[in-house]
Amino acid sequence: MKRKWLKITSMVTVAAMLLAGCGSQTASTDSGSSSEEAAESSGGTEAVVTAEPGSITYPLNSDITVSWYAQDNILPHEKFADASESPFHIGLAEKLGVTIDWSFPTTGSDGGTYTTTMLADPTSLPNIMQVYWMNNANQYLDDEIIWDLTDYIQQYAPDYYAWLQSNPAYDRAMKTDDGRYYAFGFFREDGGWNDSYQGPVVRQDWLDECGLEVPTTISEFENVIRVFNEKYGATFNSAYSIRFKANGLSGAFGAYGTADASASNGWFVKDGVVGLAAAQPEWREYVSWLNKLWEEGLIDQDMMTEDDTTIKDKIHNDKCGISLTSMGQLSNWNSEREAAGKEAVWVGIPYPTGDDGTLSSIFGGPGIGTQTTVITKTADEETMKLCLQMLNYAYTEEGNLYWNYGEEGVSWEYNDEGVPTFTSLVKDDQDVDPMTKYGGATWGSSCIQETNLLYEKNSEDAIAANDTWYYVYPDDEEKNMAVTSGWKWPVGATYTTEESDEMDEIGQNITTYVDESFAAFLNGSKDIDDDAVWEQYLADLETYNLSRILEIRQACYDRYVTR
């Protein structure tokens, strides 16, 4: 990947130079910092100071201690008690030359809820915070809870800024409608196949034993569930149990047209119009189908309450033969079978289409993570500038390699083709996801995840599965993107402060109501096929301000696409 990175660096350097303009001054470095001397524009206002990518020297060798809260993305590997034992966290502090006071969500807590609780007390926030997408970023900026980075980012995070300028979609996501930069993001290197990293899987050995072909339509998919239940007593289950909610598996069965919008609580955009998946007739059809399977005992009756660990026990005890999972979990399932002296039998299969062959949407996204990293106002200006330089490191050539692979010569080395590859230290490690002991390029962290990393950390069968899920239309990229990303609510859309206030007042309960209704429709305590019940459900959605919420989201989306 060395050559690829150099190509990217060259591209973004040119972009940064073009943006800086012929009359701008390029800042130099002094003890890791760019010059603070600004050029005066012809109008007499102070111009934003720029620095070229690669101009910041690491380590920074600062005597300031920075507090850093990492939500649920760069937690220490489960083998380590805390960051003080973690090779990645120890090494990052050394490479940055900064003492870091790490904090993480309390054990067993929900990261999002924990973070929201922290934000409720702005006076005690850590300097750096990793948070879920701040649709209300304007409110946090206006209330001076987080730093507006606009006037500082080109000077103190030049590599990050240049990366954004190389990709307009990434740049648009990382700022507000009025152009204020406020966060660092997670980006997948090429926005390609790895954006659909989960999908349907099946036991190939059971298909063979039963004389079945790989299912391609929703009826064929149902038939496999039914045959496996009759022959093996197995039921359909999902390794992502938390996503088996109203907004979770709708996209797993793209035959029904409702996008999997689990990252945005079921909100989607189709043909420029914002909607709620759980208010669509296609969603009703989808849930009706699930209810039929539930009533026949073809869906695991514990699905709504169990976690991934208990589901994996059923996977390994032949209680499930067709499921929805990720490429990482598929790798684990097969490797764990092989460790037990069994054949690796789980394979990825295509998302089922409707019986007429149509496919509306599948799980996917734009290659931008669901979390961002912000700098809070508990950092004074000097500390904020230091934080910018610290976060910038991940977007440098050296920092990119460290975040993805760890320490060269320890956890990785270049192969004969000049591509980073893990050493035996990682490859022979039997712990769960050993790569995370040494690297931090996990979903949601503030960095660029290299495509090669996905090949390094997953097995051949998992990679083949992901190719199957993503390349729905391998000869038509535009059509392929339409089903993988075309319905997605944009992660970087931001409300105005007034909209945030109103959403705080009226928008808190609708998701809970939808989830509760889904559970009732699924188990039959409410009959989704009864028109009166369905109409009452839609009416109840209006009592939870659905129409007004759609108006706010539509305005938000319309501003986003014109940034």
Which of 409, 436, 457 is a domain's end point? 457
Return the amino acid letter for 287: V
| Same-domain pairing of 49 and 160 | yes
* Sheet with 184-188, edge to edge strand ranges: 99-103, 65-69, 128-132, 368-375, 184-188, 448-449
260-275 burial, b if ≥16 CB within 10 A, otherwise e? bbbbbbbbbbbeeebb
Collapsing DSSP to helix, strand or coil, 198 comes out as strand
| Same-domain pairing of 314 and 405 | no
| Same-domain pairing of 530 and 554 | yes
Collapsing DSSP to helix, strand or coil, 524 comes out as coil
| Same-domain pairing of 338 and 215 | yes
**What is the Cβ-side half-sphere exposure of residue 10, based on CA atoms within 13 angstroms?**
6
Which of 413, 438, 457 is a domain's end point? 457
| Same-domain pairing of 435 and 501 | no
| Same-domain pairing of 96 and 78 | yes
- CA–CA distance, 181 with 152 (Å, rounded to integer): 9
Return the amino acid letter for 143: D
CA dist list (Å): 437 to 87, 106, 108, 301:
6, 20, 20, 36
Q: Can you give the pLDDT at residue 249?
A: 53
Greatest alpha-carbon pair distance for the chain in Å reads 80
Single out the residue of 162, 196, 184, 189 nearest to residue 74, CA to CA.
184
Single out the residue of 79, 86, 71, 83 nearest to residue 116, CA to CA.
71
Please check whether residue 516 lies inside any domain of the structure.
Answer: yes
- CA–CA distance, 461 with 345 (Å, rounded to integer): 9
- How does strand 448-449 pair with strand 29-30? unpaired
Q: Can you give the pLDDT at residue 432?
A: 80
Please check whether residue 464 lies inside any domain of the structure.
Answer: no
Q: At what angle do helices 546-561 and 497-506 cross, to 10 degrees?
A: 150
Work out the angle at residue 321's Cα, subtended by the Cα atoms of residues 342 and 239, and round it to the nearest 5 degrees: 95
| Same-domain pairing of 494 and 394 | no
**What is the 8-class DSSP label of residue 255?**
G
Containing domain of residue 269, as a range? 197-363+489-561
CA dist list (Å): 137 to 386, 398, 496:
22, 30, 8
| Same-domain pairing of 43 and 111 | yes
Which of 457, 480, 506 is a domain's end point? 457
Q: Taking the chain, what is the end-to-end CA distance rounded to the nearest angstrom?
A: 32
CA dist list (Å): 483 to 234, 252, 363, 495:
30, 12, 8, 26
Please check whether residue 473 lies inside any domain of the structure.
Answer: no
- How does strand 184-188 pair with strand 368-375? antiparallel
- CA–CA distance, 286 with 266 (Å, rounded to integer): 14
- CA–CA distance, 206 with 322 (Å, rounded to integer): 10
Q: Quick one: CA dihedral 504, 251, 194, 476, positive or negative?
A: negative
The rounded radius of gyration (Å) of the Cα atoms in the chain is 24
Single out the residue of 561, 505, 489 nearest to residue 135, CA to CA.
489
Please check whether residue 388 lies inside any domain of the structure.
Answer: yes
| Same-domain pairing of 349 and 214 | yes
**What is the Cβ-side half-sphere exposure of residue 68, based on CA atoms within 13 angstroms?**
28
Q: At what angle do helices 397-405 and 87-96 cross, to 10 degrees?
A: 170
Please check whether residue 480 lies inside any domain of the structure.
Answer: no
Please check whether residue 467 lies inside any domain of the structure.
Answer: no
Name residues whose C-beta falls within 8 Å of residue 532's C-beta, 6 or more positions apart in sequence: none
* Sheet with 237-238, edge to edge strand ranges: 237-238, 322-326, 198-203, 346-348
Name residues whose C-beta falls within 8 Å of residue 163's C-beta, 6 or more positions apart in sequence: 8, 12, 170, 187, 395, 448
Name residues whose C-beta falls within 8 Å of residue 184's C-beta, 6 or more positions apart in sequence: 157, 160, 174, 372, 373, 374, 391, 394, 446
| Same-domain pairing of 346 and 394 | no
- Read off the tokens for 490: 């944009």
Please check whether residue 481 lies inside any domain of the structure.
Answer: no
- Read off the tokens for 223: 């038939």
The list of the chain residues with pLDDT below 70 reads 1-47, 191-195, 240-255, 257-264
Name residues whose C-beta falls within 8 Å of residue 292's C-beta, 6 or more positions apart in sequence: none
Contact 400, 393 (CB under 8 A): no
Query: What would the DSSP string read from start to end of 67-109?
Result: EEE--SSSPPPTTSSSGGG-HHHHHHHHHHT-EEEEE-PPTTS
Strands of 415-535 (E only): list them.
420-422, 448-449
| Same-domain pairing of 262 and 357 | yes
- CA–CA distance, 463 with 36 (Å, rounded to integer): 47
Q: Can you give the pLDDT at residue 56?
A: 98
Name residues whose C-beta falls within 8 Å of residue 153's C-beta, 6 or more positions apart in sequence: 160, 161, 181, 388
- How does strand 29-30 pair with strand 33-34? antiparallel
The CATH code of the domain that includes 219 is 3.40.190.10
| Same-domain pairing of 251 and 350 | yes
- Read off the tokens for 371: 């979390």
CA dist list (Å): 82 to 23, 171, 337:
49, 34, 30
Please check whether residue 10 lies inside any domain of the structure.
Answer: yes
Q: Can you give the pLDDT at residue 430?
A: 82
Number of domains, the chain: 2
The partner residues of 34 in beta bridges, in order of sequence, read 29
Helix ranges (H only) for 64-217 are 87-96, 111-119, 137-142, 153-156, 158-165, 168-173, 204-209
